[in-house]
């Protein structure tokens, strides 16, 4: 542990981003999130880390440094929720909605890590015609970081999901960060490769796999595991099952008779995974996206597979909470690729 780069993960959730850094050989010394459920999962899976429940609007880095006895940090990572960014002209204003971002900035300013990685939704790059992006760059340059940024597509990096995320990397040594080149641009992992070994029915936590692995991805993601956790199916109403049964593999509400088109008021409703493609972006459990074959939504384990969590990463609390923790996460495999590249700069 001693010679691994030391990392603090802010807004760590269940620890998807952290997991990628651990897999790349980093030591996550601290994770902070205000959500108890997510921290329970974080601590269960990251035995060498310390996840604490705290509100980052009020917990200052000075207090963290003192209470957790941390004086030296190599990297700060995290995804402050910034959906509500408010700007005046080209500036991020000091109102409540921006305080989580400001808190991340303040932690970086206080600990002065060699590098930081900030993750966010892709449209952070375009809102206000790029004004937010420019302001983020200016804010961190002011405190001594050379900034790089890019939107990455998870399915380019071996994740069976077309999830896009924006990343900002700052380096204190003045060099520019080279984002990793895609590893699977032409051979993307499909949703069938990811989940076809998991059955239609529930498996009790700790029950054995009901079949052998059926793809290289499944073999890797099982990670030597013999038993399954978090594969509890959702029991839908008969009407829901009847409707989704009419949608083919990869289809959506457009395959339904006209009178059923507007049964749900969102255009992502009644969407089935396409077995021959990576999944669409896993959400936080809205029951609009269905398995490519079975007439039900994916289980937490299937969703975790589509996010590239290994099968021995176990989600705590109830099913609704698990799906939210998973949908919130950065895919560990994508995080790992960035983390490997970042090591060369440390």
Residues lying near ligand SAM in the complex (CB under 6 A) are found at: 11-17, 33-35, 38, 55-57, 79, 81, 100, 328-330
Q: Residue 119 or residue 197: which is nearer to ligand SAM going by CB?
A: 119
Which one-letter DSSP state was computed for residue 211? S
- Is residue 196 a contact partner of residue 215, using CB atoms and an 8 Å limit? yes
Min CB(206)–ligand SAM separation in Å: 24
Q: Residue 79 or residue 128: which is nearer to ligand SAM going by CB?
A: 79
Q: Residue 79 or residue 298: which is nearer to ligand SAM going by CB?
A: 79
Q: Residue 13 or residue 285: which is nearer to ligand SAM going by CB?
A: 13
The tokens for 60 are: 């200052």
Neighbours of 281 (CB within 10 A): 16
Q: Residue 147 or residue 154: which is nearer to ligand SAM going by CB?
A: 154
Q: Cα separation of 248 and 256, whole Å?
A: 10
Q: Cα separation of 297 and 62, whole Å?
A: 44
Min CB(25)–ligand SAM separation in Å: 18
Min CB(109)–ligand SAM separation in Å: 18
Min CB(303)–ligand SAM separation in Å: 13
Given 29, 32, 82, 297, the catalytic residue: 82
**Which H or E run contains 153?**
strand 146-153
Min CB(60)–ligand SAM separation in Å: 12
- Is residue 39 a contact partner of residue 33, using CB atoms and an 8 Å limit? yes
Per the annotation, the verdict on 82 as an active-site residue is yes
H helical segments located in 280-329: 300-306, 319-328
Q: Cα separation of 244 and 272, whole Å?
A: 8
- Is residue 272 a contact partner of residue 253, using CB atoms and an 8 Å limit? no
- The partner residues of 166 in beta bridges, in order of sequence, read 120, 151
Task: List the catalytic residues.
Answer: 82
């Amino acid at each position: 542990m001693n010679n691994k780069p030391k990392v603090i993960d802010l807004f760590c959730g269940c620890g998807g981003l952290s997991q990628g850094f651990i897999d790349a050989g980093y030591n996550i010394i601290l994770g902070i999130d205000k959500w108890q459920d997510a921290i329970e999962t974080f601590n269960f899976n990251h035995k060498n880390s310390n996840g604490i429940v705290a509100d980052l609007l009020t917990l200052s880095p000075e207090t963290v440094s003192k209470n957790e006895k941390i004086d030296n940090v190599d990297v700060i990572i995290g995804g402050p929720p910034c959906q509500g960014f408010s700007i005046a002209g080209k500036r991020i204003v000091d109102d409540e909605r921006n305080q989580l971002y400001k808190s991340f900035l303040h932690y970086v300013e206080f600990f002065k890590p060699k590098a930081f990685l900030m993750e966010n939704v892709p449209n952070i790059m375009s809102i206000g015609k790029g004004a937010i992006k420019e302001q983020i760059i200016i804010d961190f340059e002011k405190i001594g970081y050379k900034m790089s940024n890019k939107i990455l597509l998870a399915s380019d990096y071996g994740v069976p999901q077309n999830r896009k995320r924006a990343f900002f990397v700052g380096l204190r040594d003045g060099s520019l960060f080279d984002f990793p080149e895609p590893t699977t641009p032409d051979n993307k992992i499909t949703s069938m490769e990811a989940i076809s070994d998991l059955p239609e029915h529930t498996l009790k936590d700790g029950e054995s796999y009901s079949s052998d692995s059926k793809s290289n991805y499944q073999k890797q993601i099982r990670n030597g595991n013999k038993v399954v956790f978090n594969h509890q199916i959702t029991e839908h109403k008969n009407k829901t099952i009847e409707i989704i049964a009419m949608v083919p593999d990869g289809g959506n509400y457009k395959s339904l008779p006209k009178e059923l088109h507007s049964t749900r008021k969102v255009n992502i409703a009644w969407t089935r995974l396409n077995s021959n493609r990576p999944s669409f972006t896993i959400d936080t459990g809205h029951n609009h996206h269905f398995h490519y074959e079975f007439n039900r939504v994916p289980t937490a384990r299937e969703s975790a597979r589509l996010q590239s969590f290994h099968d021995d990463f176990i989600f705590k609390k109830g099913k609704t909470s698990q799906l939210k923790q998973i949908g919130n996460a950065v895919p560990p495999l994508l995080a790992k690729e960035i983390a490997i590249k970042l090591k060369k700069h440390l």
